[in-house]
Amino acid sequence: MTLRLKLAVLATALGLAACSSPTMHYYTLVAPLHSEATSGAPAPFQFEMLPVLLPVQVDQPPLVVRQGDGSLAILDTERWGAPLGDEFHDALTAQLEQRWGRRDMAGLPKEGDLPVLSLRTDVRRFESVPGQYALLDVVWNLSLRGGAEGGKRQTLTCSSVIREQAGSGLDSLVIAHQKAISRLADSIARGTQAWVSQPGKGCP
């Protein structure tokens, strides 16, 4: 076989391999926001969203789904658009910005006359079961400090377990997670409003 023929065969083989490579799909937890969900008056505090903690089993680029026998499947061609911790952080932040009518001030200069609410979330479970459900088990911690009158730091730690039905297909599963994060934002927003107005009040 001549060198030219060998190169032609190699080029053909590489071309066929490229054509047969699996297609990658990318997903996001950031749901489209609807204008009717925007709150009226801005919240009486500025807030900063701290980094999200996630279980190491699911905190990776591919989607990780739970199977019926209790095992986990890593779907190499089905991936998050960003690291899952960032996806969760950005999705929850966008929901809370809309509910509180304020921008996330993490890393930005704060207004001196408004208290600062810090939110930390620890996702204990992030379960994805195709055709069945998406589940979140989240511990969230609020810390309120500062303001025009100063005052000592106040903290509140609560938890939420949210389960959303998911249809067949990964698109439906991702949408179920988006809905679960929206419900989590509702719980945090309600709990925060009650706690800020009555500092002695506990979790919702």
Total Cβ atoms within 10 A of residue 128? 22
Rounded-to-integer distance, Cα 186 and Cα 189, Å: 5
Task: Output the tens digit of pLDDT for each of the chain's 204 residues.
Answer: 554 544 444 455 455 444 557 899 999 999 987 755 555 789 999 999 999 999 999 999 999 999 888 899 999 999 999 999 999 999 999 999 999 999 999 999 988 889 999 999 999 999 999 999 999 999 999 999 886 555 678 899 999 999 999 998 999 999 999 999 999 999 999 999 989 888 777 787
Structure tokens that stand for 84 in this block: 């899952």
Rounded-to-integer distance, Cα 4 and Cα 1, Å: 8
Rounded-to-integer distance, Cα 113 and Cα 45, Å: 9
Strands lying side by side in the sheet with 72-80: 25-27, 72-80, 62-66
In this structure, the dihedral spanned by the alpha carbons of residues 140, 142, 143 and 144, taken in order and rounded to 10 degrees, is 170
Domain 28-197 has CATH 1.10.10.10: no
